[in-house]
């Protein structure tokens, strides 16, 4: 007898927050990096497809599926820049993990918080291979919803403990500094992006600009710096001046998607780029020397969500931090779906 075939565990926002905080954010991020790294090493195994988007005037709704042959995962994610006007999030997400052997979903979860964590974990993983040796100082330009997650991932994975924060809105910077107090950072709130990048070994750009912006211009980026370009991520939405991109050694997740969404949408399609998975799996070099400028042109890819879903499933075990959804019809006799309906009436009548 297989019990409860109708039930799928569901991780609510509330339970996700409990799980992350009880685990400890830095431990959560460090363990998540290990899962993402494992999946980048077996990159070739995965079903890969660019995200499937439904565009409207207000924004986009996307499905991001992938599979390693044993597990299947997908994320539903929206991007609606004007949502904040109605008190909503610009980006929300939820995800599903399933078993390819039966096709049955095995986990449904909020992914707004989990996506911020996986994005930060992916950035920190890339920086392990690309940041200059001995880096301890990071500029964060854009101090919105993702900034604290980026900071903590870089602290947990690379030991970054000096932050230089800048945002067009000083209130965002203050919020970020306040949230990170007590995590062991030396934090400098900066009045200009130029001040923020001064002395930084790593520059993280994570702004929410809606159009082509030039957060970083050429004169701001010195030799040896690693740029972690997280914002942008739409056709027509970039953060770096083209000259900065041209001076950098560029590393990307999935080229067919990054050419459309990333900083490299500004370049000719024959410009040389590197695939991060090849670096992680030892098939290509990361940073070659101390003076090189490296750029991780992050746009976010389905495999990272898959890793996050896989980690969540394992981390969840034994915690009880989930609810049980009665999602899958499970008649006593598989061919008797209608009979199940008929019998439910009798149940219903008894209860009423």
- Residues 118-147 interacting with a copy of itself (rule: CB under 8 A): 144-147
Q: How far is the CB of 102 from a copy of itself (least distance, A)?
A: 6
* SS3 state at 202: strand
Report d(CA 140, CA 148) in Å as an integer: 9
**Residue with smaller CB distance to a copy of itself, 64 or 190:** 64
Tokens of 246: 């041209």
- In angstroms, what is the minimal distance from the CB of 160 to a copy of itself? 17
Point out the residues that are catalytic: 233
Q: Is 45 in the site for a copy of itself (CB under 8 A)?
A: no
Q: Which stretch binds a copy of itself (CB under 8 A): 47-55, 187-195, 221-229, 236-244?
A: 47-55
Contacts of 347 (CB under 8 A, 6+ apart): none
Q: Is 124 helix (H, G, I), strand (E, B) or coil?
A: helix
Nearest to 280 by CA among 33, 100, 73: 33
- Footprint of a copy of itself on 301-330 (CB under 8 A): 325-330
Distance spanning both ends of the chain, measured CA to CA: 30
Helix, coil or strand: residue 174: helix
Is residue 94 a contact point for a copy of itself (CB under 8 A)? yes
Among 29, 43, 65, 306, binds a copy of itself (CB under 8 A): 65
Per CB under 8 A, the list member of 23, 30, 90, 212 interacting with a copy of itself is 90
Residue 246 CB, shortest distance to a copy of itself, in Å, is 32
CB of 147 to a copy of itself, least distance (A): 8
C-alpha distances (whole Å) from 220 to each of 31, 154, 195, 287 are 34, 21, 9, 20
Task: Choose, by CB under 8 A, the member of 92, 174, 266, 281 that binds a copy of itself.
Answer: 92
């Amino acid at each position: 007898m297989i019990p409860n075939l109708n039930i799928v565990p569901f991780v609510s926002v509330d339970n996700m927050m409990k799980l992350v905080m009880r685990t400890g954010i830095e431990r959560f991020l460090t363990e998540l990096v290990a899962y993402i790294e494992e999946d980048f090493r077996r990159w070739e195994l995965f079903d890969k497809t660019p995200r499937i988007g439904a565009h409207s005037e207000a924004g986009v709704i996307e499905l991001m599926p992938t599979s390693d042959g044993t597990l299947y995962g997908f994320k539903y994610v929206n991007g609606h820049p004007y949502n904040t006007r109605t008190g909503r999030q610009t980006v929300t997400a939820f995800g599903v993990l399933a078993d390819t052997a039966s096709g049955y979903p095995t986990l449904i979860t909020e992914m707004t918080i989990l996506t911020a964590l996986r994005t930060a974990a992916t950035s920190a993983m890339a920086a392990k291979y690309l940041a200059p040796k001995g880096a301890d100082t990071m500029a964060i330009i854009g101090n919105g919803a993702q900034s604290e997650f980026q900071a903590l991932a870089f602290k947990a994975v690379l030991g970054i403990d000096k932050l230089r924060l800048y945002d067009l809105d000083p209130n965002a910077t203050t919020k970020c500094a306040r949230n990170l107090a007590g995590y062991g950072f030396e934090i400098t709130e900066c009045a200009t992006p130029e001040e923020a990048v001064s002395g930084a070994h790593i520059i993280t750009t994570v702004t929410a600009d809606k159009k082509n912006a030039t957060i970083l211009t050429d004169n701001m980026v010195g030799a040896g710096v690693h740029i972690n370009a997280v914002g942008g991520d739409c056709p027509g939405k970039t953060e770096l001046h083209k000259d900065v991109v041209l001076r950098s050694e560029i590393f990307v997740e999935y080229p067919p998607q990054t050419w459309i969404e990333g900083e490299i949408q500004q370049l000719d399609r024959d410009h040389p780029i590197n695939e991060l998975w090849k670096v992680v799996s030892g098939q290509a070099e990361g940073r070659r020397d101390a003076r090189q400028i490296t750029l991780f042109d992050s746009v976010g890819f389905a495999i990272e969500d898959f890793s996050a879903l896989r980690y969540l499933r394992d981390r969840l075990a034994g915690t009880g931090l989930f609810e049980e959804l009665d999602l899958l019809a499970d008649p006593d006799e598989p061919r008797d779906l209608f009979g199940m309906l008929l019998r439910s009436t009798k149940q219903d009548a008894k209860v009423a």
